[in-house]
Structure 1
C-alpha cells in the first residue's frame, strides 16, 4: 500500500505529456441532467470519446501537474475532485494514444515493438477472426449529390405515404393470411434460399443507404461503407462515427433509426406489391423482399442487447452513451455486493430505481448473448469440417462465454479476504450442498417422446376399386360383424354370364346322353362345364371379398365420415380402422447414452399431451441398436413433433432419425379410452445415477463420438 501511495505521489507532481495537436474538441450539448458535455475526436482512428464537465476542466488546465489541476478546479469551480480522478483521466488519454509520446510512452512503444508485430499474437488472430471490417467505397460525394437532388425523400409527406401504403399492405395480407403463409413455406427450397439471400443483400443495402443519407443530410461525414465480418458472417456497414459531433440527441436518433425505418418501409411496400401483383417472378421477388425485411428489422436490428440499431436507438432515446458497459458495471458491482457482501463503491451514482433498471437490463443482455453465442458456436461447428469446427467451437465458447466469467471470478478471488465471514460460511455451505447433490445418485428417470396405440389394430381397404354399398357406424363391433359392403358390377355380370353358360352346358349334357355320338362329345362338354363352374366360383369368391367382416371384436372407427353409399372407393383409400381396445402399447425413443440404465420390466409413466394424469405401465422390450427410421410420423418435427428427421434417400416415404436414439416398447397396465393413438412423453424408472456420473458418461460419449475424424 505504501508503494502504491508513493507511486501516486510521484505522478501527482509531474506534469503529464501534452495532448496531441490533431485532436478536436466538439461541443456535444448537455446530458439528460443538464450538465455540459463534449466529445474528443481522434482524426487518425475516427473515434469519439465523450467527456463531462470535470474532464473538460482538467483539459483546460492541461500542462500543470495533476495535483495543481485538482487544486485549481477545487478553487475555481464548485467541484471537489480527487487526485485519483485526475490520474484516471491521464491513464485514459494515454491508453487511447491521445497524448504525445513522452519518456514513459516511448519506453512502452519500444517494448511493444520488441515483442513483435501485433499480427503474430494469438489474440490478434482471435479478434480479427471474430470481427473485422473491410471498407469498400468512400461515398461522400455520391451521398451529397443524392441529398441535393432528392430532398423530397426526407419530407413528412413521403414518410406518411410510405407508412400508409405499408399499413395497407399489412391489412390486405391479413385478409389473405393462409395464402401468404403457404407461399412462404413453398419458398423454402434451394432456389428459394438463393432468392432469400439476394433479397437480404438488397434489404441490407437499402438499410445502410438510409443511415448514410440521413447522416449526410444532417452534416455528418460518412467516411466509408463496406462489409463487416462477424464470426466470418458478412454484414454491410456504414461508418457514421462522426454523428457524435451532433449536439442534439434527436439528430443522432434520426441517424441510428434511419436504417430500420427504411427497411420497415421497404417491407411494407413489398408486402403491398405482393398482394397487388399476379403470381410470377415479380410476385416471388416481392415476397422474398417483404419477409426478409420484416424478419431483419423486427427480430435482429430492433434488439437492444447487441450493438445493432436497436441498441443505438435506445441509447439516443435515453441520451445514455455506452449503455452496455455502464449497465454491466452496475450489475457486476450489484452481484459483488449481494453475493459476496463486498462494500464496493458504485461506478456511477444513480437513483435506486434507475440502478435497478440498469442491473435488470444487464442481466437480460447477458442471458440474450449467452443463448446467441451458444447458437453461433454450434453453427460454426456444423458449418466447417469436424477438426476445424471443434477448434472454432472452442474459441467461441472461450472468448464470448468463459473469458468474461473468468475475469469476474478472478476479481472475486482477488478480493476474497474482504468478504465478510457470514458470506464465506454461506458460500461454503451452498457449495457443499451442491457437491453433495451432484454426487448422490438421485437421477432415477429416463424420458423420451412416444406414441400410444393399440397393440392390435387393422386398417381396412377395398380389395379393388368398388362401389360402396353400406358401412358400419363408428362404435363397438363383435367378431365377424359386417363392417363394409361393396359391389362391383363387372364381377356380378361375369357371375351371371357363367351361370347362364352353365345352364346351357347342363342342358346340352342332358341331350347328349341320348345322341349316337354322345360319348365322343361328352368329355369336351364336361371340360367346358368345369371351366364355367370354376369361373362362377371365382366370381363368387370376389363377391365375398367385397363384404369385409371384423376378424376380431373391437372398436370400429371410420376415417372419412363423408363417405356415403353409391360412392366409388380406390384400393389406396382407407375405409376405417378396427382397434382391439384391450391391450395398449407405447413406442418411444430415448437417448442412446441413457439406455444402459434401463431394463425390461421397469415401471413407466406415460403423460399424454393435453392430459395431466399419467398412465402406468412397464417396459416390454429395448432396442439392441440405434433406431434408424421413425415408425410414427406423428413424432417428426415436420409434423409438429419433437424429433428431427430427414427423408431417407434410399427408401422413399421413410423418415430417418438425426439423433442417436433407441426404440423402447412399453405396455399399459389398463386400457386407454382416449382415442386410437396419442403422442406424449414416456418416463421410465431407471438405475440411479448422480449428476456427476451422468455428466461424466455424457462427456465420455461426446469425446468418443467427436474423436473420429
Structure 2
C-alpha cells in the first residue's frame, strides 16, 4: 500500500451512511436518545463534493484525519445538529422536510453511532468514562491492526512533518504553479529525449551491473532518499492546496525501509484534479529528478558519481512507471484512478459490488437484497477492478514471498504463512460468516453451502487432478569445438582482415597479425647467416677445423631462421574447415594487441555447433528421466523458438561454469563463489550438471556464439498441486538435506 495515501483506504476512515425505507420508521430504543442534544465538535469540518453529478458531504475529524461520507438525506440530519435542538426535534424536522425520503429512527441512531465513532459528535450528557476508555482502546487496536494487517508493508508512524512542510512552502508559491508545471513538462520531455537517444548505453549490461558492490551500496542510499523526496512531494502538494499533513513514518516494504506520509487530508479538496495532483506529486518529482540525473549522467566520467546518477535514473524512472502508477496496487495510481473516475473508496466499493453480483447471479438471492448504490457507468469499472486487483495482488504476493524465501528461507516461510492468512484465509472466513448471517441469504443457505462446496471441489479438481504443462527452465551458452575457435598463434598486433565475415573455405586466409620483434629477430639472424657464410668461405681456404665450427653455427642459425619464418607464417590465420567466418571484434582488430591464445574469431560449422547447458542438481534427475522436448531461444532474440535435442551429459555434478555469461555478473542466474579454484577459474555456489545440446536447425542463432540462451525442458504434464509439492520438496531437500 502506498504510504502516501494509506489512511484513505482504511475501512474506518470512510463510512458510507445509507437510509432504509419508511417501512420501519420507529425504533424501540428511541426513548433512550430522544431528549439528547447533540452537537458537532469544533474539530469537525464539513466539505461538499460532487461525484458523477450527485452531491455528497464529507465530515472530517481534523484531529485524526478520518472522514465520514454522507448522502443528501444524512447530511440534512447532520445540518440540524447545532447543540440546541434535541434529537426528537431534529428527527421531526427531517420527517417534515424529506417526506418519503425521511430516515427512520434506527437510521438516525445508526448515523449518530457513525458520527460518534468518527469522534466528531458530543452531547449534553455526561461522558461515560469507561466508554471513552473503551473507545480509546478500540481505536488504538484498530490503528495497530491497520499498521500490521498487511505483512508486506508494515507502517510505523514517527513524526509530524506539518511544520517542516510549512517552512518549505515559500519555495512553492501557488501563483507559480502553472510555471512549475511547464518546467516539469520541459524536464520530463528532455529526459524522454535523452532516454531514447542513450537507451542502449542506459540498459547495457544492466543485469550484470545491478549485482556489483557499487550498485548494491548505492541502492541502499538512493532508494530511501528518493522515496523520502517522493513522500515530501505529496506533503508539499497537500499544503499547496491548503491541506494538512500530520503523520510521517517508516514502512517496511518487503523488509526494505521506505518513508511515507499520511495524505488523507487531500480527500477534503473539492476539485478532483487537485486530489489527482496530490496523488501524482511524488511521481512527478521523481521523474523530474530522473531527467536531471540522466542529463548529468551523459556528461559524467566513469566513477562512483556516474554509478550514483545511473542508480537514480533506474530507481526514480523504473519504480515510478512500473509500480507507483499501477492502479491495481494501492499506490499513487490507485487513488488517482479513483479520483478520476469519481468513485471514492474504489477498492472497497468494487468488492461490495462483486459480492452483490455473487449473491444475485450465483446464489440467486432475491429477498432483502440491497444492491450497492452505483452511478451510471460504474458497474463495469467496479466488477473489473475487483477481479483484476485481487489476481494482481496474489501474483505480487507470490513473487515477493518466493523472492524472500530464496534469500531468507525461514522469514520467507513465515511471511508466506502470514500473507496467506491475512490476505486469503481471514477475508474468506469473514466473507463466509457474513454470508451465513446475511438476511438476504437466509433462505439460500443450502445453495450457499452447495456453491461453496462446489467451488472448493472444482478448485481441488483443477489443482490436484487436471494435468498442466510442466517444464524445467534453465540457461545455457552457445558453444563450438576448439577447432572452430581462431586463437592468436602468438602475442602480436592485428594487421589486416583478409576475409569478409561470411562463408569461407578450408585453408582460406582470414586475418593476419604482425610482431615487429619477430621481424627484427629474423633480420638479425639473416644478417648473422650472411656473416657465417662469408667466414666459412675464408676458413675453407685457411683452417678446416674453424670451418667445421662455422658450419655448425651456420646450421643452428638457419634452423632458427626457419623457425622464425614458420612463426611469422603462422601469423596469417587460416580457416580450419569450411563454415561461416565470425570475427570477435572487427572494428578494433587492426592495431589491437592479442595475447597468445586469445580468441580472435570463429569459423562456425553447423555440424560442430552445440550448446552447453547447466542444470541445478535438484532438477537433473527429472531432466534425465522425463524429457519430452527441448526448446530454446537466444537472449538477444526473445520470441524466436528453436528446437534442440540432448546429445551428451557430464555424469557427475560440478561447480565449474562453462561460461561467465551464465553467472549473475554476466546477466545469468547462477551465483559465483567469491573464492576461485586453485587455477583461478570461477566456481558456482551450487552443484550443477552440464548437458550438451545440439540444434535441429542451428543456423538461425549461430550468430550468437558465446552468448546466453534460455532453454526449456518439457516434461510429462502433471497437476498443479504435484508441481507445487515438487518445488517445496526440492527447497526443503536443498535447505535441510532431507
Q: 2:95 aligned to 66, 69, 73, which one?
A: 73
Whether 1:586 and 2:611 are equivalent positions in the alignment is yes
- Residues 544-591 of structure 1, C-alpha deviations (whole Å, 9 max, x = no match): 544555555555444455699999866465443234433443322345
Task: Output the CA distance in 1 between the equivalents of 2:500 and 2:215.
Answer: 47
Structure 1 residue aligned with 2:372: 348
The alpha carbon displacement at 1:538 in A equals 3.2
Q: 1:323 aligned to 346, 350, 373, which one?
A: 346
Structure 2 residue aligned with 1:459: 485
Between stretches 476-485 and 51-60, larger displacement belongs to 476-485
Q: 1:585 to 1:369 in 2, by over 3 A?
A: same
Task: Output the CA distance in 2 between the equivalents of 1:577 and 1:482.
Answer: 13
The alpha carbon displacement at 1:327 in A equals 1.9
TM-score normalised by structure 1 residue count: 0.75
Whether 1:643 and 2:663 are equivalent positions in the alignment is no
Q: Which runs of 5+ in 2 are unaligned?
A: 1-23
Task: Output the CA distance in 2 between the equivalents of 1:318 and 1:493.
Answer: 87
Q: Assess if the C-alpha contact under 8 Å between 1:340 and 1:420 holds in 2.
A: no
Structure 2 residue aligned with 1:3: none
Structure 1 residue aligned with 2:14: none
- The within-5 A match list for 1:136-155 is 136-137=159-160, 139-140=162-163, 147=169, 152=173, 154-155=175-176
Task: Output the CA distance in 2 between the equivalents of 1:446 and 1:232.
Answer: 30
- State how many pairs are aligned: 691
Structure 1 residue aligned with 2:41: 22
- Residues 115-136 of structure 1, C-alpha deviations (whole Å, 9 max, x = no match): 9x969x9998667995333342
- Residues 270-308 of structure 1, C-alpha deviations (whole Å, 9 max, x = no match): 666777999999998777666655456544443434444
Task: Output the CA distance in 2 between the equivalents of 1:129 and 1:474.
Answer: 54
Whether 1:162 and 2:188 are equivalent positions in the alignment is no
Higher relative contact order (Cα pairs below 8 Å, separated by 6+ residues): 2
Q: 1:693 aligned to 719, 722, 738, which one?
A: 722
- Residues 180-228 of structure 1, C-alpha deviations (whole Å, 9 max, x = no match): 7389969966556655665556655555555445544544344454545
Whether 1:666 and 2:688 are equivalent positions in the alignment is no
Q: 2:533 aligned to 503, 527, 536, which one?
A: 503
- The within-5 A match list for 1:207-286 is 207-216=230-239, 218-228=241-251, 233-249=256-272, 252-253=275-276, 255-264=278-287
The alpha carbon displacement at 1:329 in A equals 1.7
Task: Output the CA distance in 2 between the equivalents of 1:608 and 1:164.
Answer: 40
Structure 2 residue aligned with 1:542: 567
The alpha carbon displacement at 1:356 in A equals 0.8
The alpha carbon displacement at 1:322 in A equals 1.7
| SS in structure 1 at match of 2:624 | coil
- The within-5 A match list for 1:476-625 is 488-497=518-527, 499-504=529-534, 506-507=536-537, 510-511=540-541, 518=544, 521=546, 524-525=549-550, 527-543=552-568, 545-546=570-571, 548-549=573-574, 551=576, 554-559=579-584, 571=596, 574-599=599-624, 604-609=629-634, 614-615=642-643, 617-621=645-649, 623-625=651-653
Q: 1:696 to 1:18 in 2, by over 3 A?
A: farther
Q: 2:67 aligned to 26, 33, 48, which one?
A: 48
| SS in structure 1 at match of 2:655 | coil
The structure with the larger Rg is 1
- Residues 422-481 of structure 1, C-alpha deviations (whole Å, 9 max, x = no match): 995898499469627844777575454444545564322332226757845556666666
- Residues 654-686 of structure 1, C-alpha deviations (whole Å, 9 max, x = no match): 665577753322345677576365665545465
- Residues 89-133 of structure 1, C-alpha deviations (whole Å, 9 max, x = no match): 466456556677999998888999999x969x9998667995333
Structure 2 residue aligned with 1:404: 427
Q: 1:636 to 1:209 in 2, by over 3 A?
A: closer
Q: Assess if the C-alpha contact under 8 Å between 2:151 and 2:419 holds in 1.
A: no
Q: Assess if the C-alpha contact under 8 Å between 1:170 and 1:268 holds in 2.
A: yes
Q: 1:94 to 1:281 in 2, by over 3 A?
A: same
The alpha carbon displacement at 1:606 in A equals 3.3
| SS in structure 1 at match of 2:353 | helix
Q: 2:325 aligned to 291, 302, 305, which one?
A: 302
The alpha carbon displacement at 1:650 in A equals 2.2
Q: Assess if the C-alpha contact under 8 Å between 1:494 and 1:539 holds in 2.
A: no
Task: Output the CA distance in 1 between the equivalents of 2:714 and 2:330.
Answer: 47
| SS in structure 1 at match of 2:692 | strand
Structure 1 residue aligned with 2:50: 31
| SS in structure 2 at match of 1:155 | helix
Q: Which runs of 5+ in 1 are unaligned?
A: 1-5
The alpha carbon displacement at 1:49 in A equals 1.7
| SS in structure 2 at match of 1:576 | strand
Q: Assess if the C-alpha contact under 8 Å between 1:622 and 1:662 holds in 2.
A: yes
Q: Assess if the C-alpha contact under 8 Å between 2:43 and 2:63 holds in 1.
A: no
TM-score normalised by structure 2 residue count: 0.73
The alpha carbon displacement at 1:78 in A equals 3.9
| SS in structure 1 at match of 2:327 | coil
Task: Output the CA distance in 2 between the equivalents of 1:418 and 1:681.
Answer: 53
Q: Assess if the C-alpha contact under 8 Å between 2:324 and 2:332 holds in 1.
A: yes
